Amino acid sequence: MAMSEISKVFKTEAERVRGWEVALGIEQPNEADDREHFWEDLQTIERLEIVEAQGLEVEYRMHCGLYGLMHEKAIFMTDPKAGFIYTGESAFFNKEND
């Protein structure tokens, strides 16, 4: 997953790998990890709902149990190796707590 995105927060591949390891519960977060990201949310995903995919934009709702709902329209770009990669940009991103 670290190879299929561009991130303003995790600028290097190693940082993206570490970010995904923490997000998926493979590694425990430490003081150096960015606490603004939704580590616990991603570990409690109950379902992923694809609302619409049109062109290079994908709108989805990620239902994260007690941590609420993430609703995003993510923007992708074509990539010769991966096919598509997440640009790190969104038309919108909302996080709602239940």
**Interval 53-79: pLDDT, tens:** 999 999 999 998 888 899 999 999 999
Collapsing DSSP to helix, strand or coil, 8 comes out as: coil
- Mean pLDDT, rounded, for 38-60: 89
- Mean pLDDT, rounded, for 37-55: 85
The residue written with tokens 């939704």 in the block is 38
Tell me the average pLDDT of the chain.
87
Kindly report the pTM of this predicted structure.
Answer: 0.80
Sheet holding 69-79, edge to edge: 47-54, 57-63, 69-79, 83-96
What does the pLDDT read at residue 51? 97
